[in-house]
Structure 1
Amino acid sequence: MRHRIAVVGSGPAGLTFARVLHRHGYPATVFERDSAPDARPPGGTLDLQEGLGQLALDKAGLLEEFQALSRPEGQAMRILDTDGTVLRDWRPGPDERANPEIDRRHLRDLLLGPLDVQWGRGVTRVAPGTGGVRVHFADGRQETFDLVVGADGAWSRVRPAVSPATPHYTGVTSVETSLDDVDTCHPGLARLIGDGSLAVYGVNRSLVAQRNSGGHVKVYAKFRAPLDWHTNVDLADAEAVRSSLLALFDGWAAPVLDLLRHGTAFVHRPLYVLPVSHTWTHVPGVTLLGDAAHLMPPLGAGANLAMLDGAELAESLATGPGDPEETVRAFEERMWARAGRWAQMTTAGLERLVSPDPAEALALFEQVQPS
């Protein structure tokens, strides 16, 4: 296989795909609209699962390096009632550390390694044709490739080449904030959160705090609301957003609300998904990975599936005999089946985690965590 391969997007899916190809001696060029790796905050921590994200890293030859960077203790989970009562306090034992956490920026840097990434190269569209697939860039340039892999997330510019599907709003919004140097600046909150994550579930809303490395904590306020819930709130005004959230969570225990009171900036992230069984008629020279192919609620599966998508497609192309188009087509069939199962589970999970009955969330947690 010596084809011109373009990867659009430098998230977990695209970088894993390119890194596995690189391990097998095949080049791919990654195009990323961001101007540099640190052009925007990389997001929170990820729980990489043994049969998914960790399997992908193993295929890339990076599993040992991942294990050195990861935080097994980050799997710990505390669940509180809205009055502050501790309902569940689970900490992983020596035999329960199979799915450790890793910061997204650490994972990104691990995957980047020697890859050829062209930063600041936003793609506007791709056009399949008889002589290859033409990639149109935001700067007006065009390049032609034999295979274009769309790994450019929820609002993919590659997706329209194969599918008319667009993400739709779930009815749940997430507002993200963060705490820095929590152990020194907010020791009470550090103890409240513990080594991993803290979750508090109320009627149609939840607060989740998640430790990252270096004393950094991400806080997510999730609630059911119309997409235009913020009509009278200036999202650029941190104090206005804070006041709105504190009113929304009024009556919750003071230490829990301190997660919002001490948050720095606020980022509005309404949750969108693609149809649960999103498929398409194969288009020669173009395919999709990760969120571009199967955007689902953010309940721990997305990045894992994205990485395994990338690793499996790259490995199949690098080692499999026969026509690359047949290889891609066969991969798509496997990806659709797997993603469909996870999309059903995460969609049902979101319904239970942001529910009129907070007991649903605790029951769901009991199903997926050891006793």
Structure 2
Amino acid sequence: MGDSTRKSDKPRVLIVGAGISGLVLAQSLRKQGGYAIGLYNPEGVLRDSLPGDVPPLETANHLLPLPLKSQLIFHGLDGRMSIVEDTPETPCLRTNRQKLRELLSTNLNIQYGKTAARIVEGPDKVTVFFVDDTSATGDIVVGADGTYSAVRPHVLKKSNDEVLKTVPFAVISGAVQLSGEVMERQLQLGHSGWVAFGPDYSLFTGINRVNVDNHGKVGGDYYWLMLIPDIMVTNQERDHWVVTSTFQERLEIAKSKVQDLDKKFRAPIELTTVEGMRAWPLWKDAEIPTLPPVDRVVLCGDAAHPIIPARGEGAIHAIYDAVNLGKVLGSANRNDMAVLRATLYKYHKEIAARGNEASQLARGALESARAGKPPMAWGHELRQLKELKPLPFKLADFEKKA
């Protein structure tokens, strides 16, 4: 737990979860000062909320040190392409999640290995009891602990099994290291990533981060997701083939399916080994159109509105939540809980409406794009792209300069 000197009228805030929303909220409160913050973990708007000692967001750019903009390209079934990239009109900075979390953790004292077991609210305090038999007491608890939130059941009075719904996609996923001409081709298809469509599936391929070894050789950590619409996933769950199959079997299915695609799209899957396969066969979201009035426990980010990554907007909404909640708590007085509860309830209503809409739109995003409708990603509508542009450099030339 990280405690800062605080004024007596400022609430003591316990943040359960050290993901993006929890870290942004903690930094926002630290910038405003006067708070005691307990943090526990199992773009313009964001910049303004961070203290001056937090490194620039650009340092978490997933493409560094390559001089490329964040960019996503959709390759339609009819050959038409759509693009969103970082421009003054469509600002977007895609970051490496690990780099961003390290950046947002600057000067925060995070208590790792803490999972909330139960929460007890009293007339003048709230206590979180953790599974390791420790506890923490404060004025407000923020559940920022993600899709499988341990705080959400306390707020909704429903278990996660009752709230979370399986999205009707069988998901096959993997990761692979690329370099040289293969990596150059992938960067041309979409600097940050690209989406292509097969007869009965959607394929996303993205770069997690760029690596430069001690000899200056450039490589990329790539990952891919093959989404196969299948309503049986929601009925069979753990008995569905995408769960019961081995990594080898899933890889063979993926390699077979991509034979329908142009060769340039096949490389990431064809170069993936069994060791690169990832266990992410089921996606979960939830329909939470409203959140209840607040006593001393409030939700933030995916804990309030689980969103699948089909439009790449989960982190965007989590950041908005955290920034807005930081403003609410910034004007809070712990001695006037009635006013604070009313303000937090307004916050709950806003994030529920916005987040639930985003969650439902994400569910149908890829099938909508497959049907030829203008896709949305990273908070922007993609514009048409007539032709792919060549990279402004060769990796070999870049490596010589490194």
TM-score (norm 1): 0.81
User: Is residue 209 of structure 2 the alignment partner of residue 198 of structure 1?
Assistant: no
Q: 1:186 aligns with which of 177, 182, 189?
A: 182
Contact (CA 8 Å) 1:175, 1:269: kept in 2 or not? Answer: yes
Write out aligned runs for 1:131-210 (5 A): 131-165=124-158, 166-180=163-177, 182-184=178-180, 186-187=182-183, 189-191=185-187, 193-210=189-206
Write out aligned runs for 1:1-371 (5 A): 1-25=9-33, 26-33=35-42, 53-61=43-51, 65-70=56-61, 73-81=68-76, 86-88=79-81, 90=83, 92=85, 95-96=88-89, 98-165=91-158, 166-180=163-177, 182-184=178-180, 186-187=182-183, 189-191=185-187, 193-214=189-210, 215-225=220-230, 226-227=232-233, 228=236, 231-232=240-241, 237-249=246-258, 251-263=260-272, 264-282=276-294, 284-298=295-309, 299-320=311-332, 323-324=336-337, 326-354=339-367, 358-360=370-372, 363-365=374-376, 368-371=381-384
After TM superposition, give the deviation of residue 269 of structure 1 in Å. Answer: 4.4
- Aligned amino acid, residue 367 of structure 2: V
Alpha-carbon distance in 1 for matches of 2:339, 2:181:
56
Alpha-carbon distance in 1 for matches of 2:374, 2:38:
45
After TM superposition, give the deviation of residue 208 of structure 1 in Å. Answer: 0.6
- Aligned amino acid, residue 305 of structure 2: H
Deviates more, 1:337-346 or 1:2-11: 337-346
What is the aligned-residue RMSD (CA, Å)?
3.1
Q: How many residues are treated as equivalent by the alignment?
A: 346
Contact (CA 8 Å) 1:73, 1:92: kept in 2 or not? Answer: no
Alpha-carbon distance in 1 for matches of 2:292, 2:349:
9
Partner-residue secondary structure (3-state), 1:99: coil
TM-score (norm 2): 0.75
- Aligned amino acid, residue 294 of structure 1: H
Alpha-carbon distance in 2 for matches of 1:250, 1:369:
27
After TM superposition, give the deviation of residue 113 of structure 1 in Å. Answer: 0.4
Contact (CA 8 Å) 2:147, 2:306: kept in 1 or not? Answer: yes
Cα distance change of structure 1 residues 199 and 287 upon mapping to structure 2, 3 Å threshold: same
Cα distance change of structure 1 residues 254 and 108 upon mapping to structure 2, 3 Å threshold: same
Cα distance change of structure 1 residues 123 and 223 upon mapping to structure 2, 3 Å threshold: same
Alpha-carbon distance in 1 for matches of 2:84, 2:152:
41
1:287-337, Cα deviation, whole Å (9 max, x unpaired): 110011111232222211112212222232223467355335424424533
Contact (CA 8 Å) 1:9, 1:153: kept in 2 or not? Answer: yes
Deviates more, 1:253-262 or 1:159-168: 253-262
Alpha-carbon distance in 2 for matches of 1:241, 1:157:
31
Contact (CA 8 Å) 1:60, 1:311: kept in 2 or not? Answer: no
Alpha-carbon distance in 2 for matches of 1:266, 1:80:
24
Partner-residue secondary structure (3-state), 2:156: coil
In structure 1, the gaps of 5 or more residues are 34-52
Partner-residue secondary structure (3-state), 1:354: helix
> Which residue does 1:41 correspond to in 2?
none
- Aligned amino acid, residue 165 of structure 2: H
Bigger radius of gyration: 2
Over the matched positions of the two proteins, sequence identity in percent amounts to 20
- Aligned amino acid, residue 108 of structure 1: R
Alpha-carbon distance in 1 for matches of 2:296, 2:84:
47
